[in-house]
Amino acid sequence: MCDNCGAAAPRPDYGDLEPVFERYAGIAGSLISILQKAQDIYGYLSLETIGYISSRTGVPPAKIYGVATFYTQFRLEPIGEYLIMLCQGTACHVNGAALIEEAITDHLGIVDGETTEDNKFTLNNVACLGCCSLAPVMMVKGPDGEETFGNLTKESVVKALETIRARG
């Protein structure tokens, strides 16, 4: 349902998943790959999408839901236009990732796993981005790709977020 108007939410066009089902047809152990592709297409795995995948693969919805909730890479809620992936790896941790997270939380009013009210930003802490020489670091995934911001300070992370917000 639409939170603002009470109308039913539009059903996704599952035709976008057809090439995925064709590619993985009959391949044992392909559920995670199918879920990854579905999340890439729709941004997250809704219960409706899980049901559709179940109907196409024959895997029970409960099993699919179990896989989706076990692996942290999968999201069951919509994300913002920009996904902030804040590294919490060892190098980032010792170089102030907690302070960067605090600055993001204070500036955007969200904590790990939440999305801003305007659906612009979602914050996700991640184990490692593999950019240790840039610690502390965050990667922001948006409509135009991914950007990496390194050697962050409380001031530079706020500036980066405001630059992204100003894009429209």
Give the Cα separation of 142 and 159 in Å (integer).
Answer: 17
Give the Cα separation of 149 and 86 in Å (integer).
Answer: 10
Share of the chain above pLDDT 90, in %: 83
CATH second-level architecture of 14-70? Orthogonal Bundle (1.10)
pLDDT recorded at residue 8: 53
Of 146, 53, 129, 61, residue with least CA distance to 93? 129
pLDDT in tens, 107-117: 999 999 999 99
pLDDT in tens, 51-109: 999 999 999 999 999 999 998 889 998 999 999 999 999 999 999 999 999 999 999 99
pTM, whole model, 2 decimals? 0.76
The domain covering 82-166 belongs, at the CATH homologous superfamily level, to Glutaredoxin (3.40.30.10)
pLDDT recorded at residue 15: 93
Share of the chain above pLDDT 70, in %: 93
DSSP 8-state assignment for residue 144: T
Give the Cα separation of 9 and 23 in Å (integer).
Answer: 29
107 close to 117: Cβ distance less than 8 angstroms: no
Q: What is the residue extent of each domain of the chain?
A: 14-70, 82-166
Query: Which 3-state string (H, E, C) describes 54-118?
Result: HHHHCCCHHHHHHHHHHCCCCCCCCCCCEEEEEECCHHHHHCCHHHHHHHHHHHHCCCCCCECCC
- Least confident residue range of 1-10, 76-85, 126-135, 136-145: 1-10
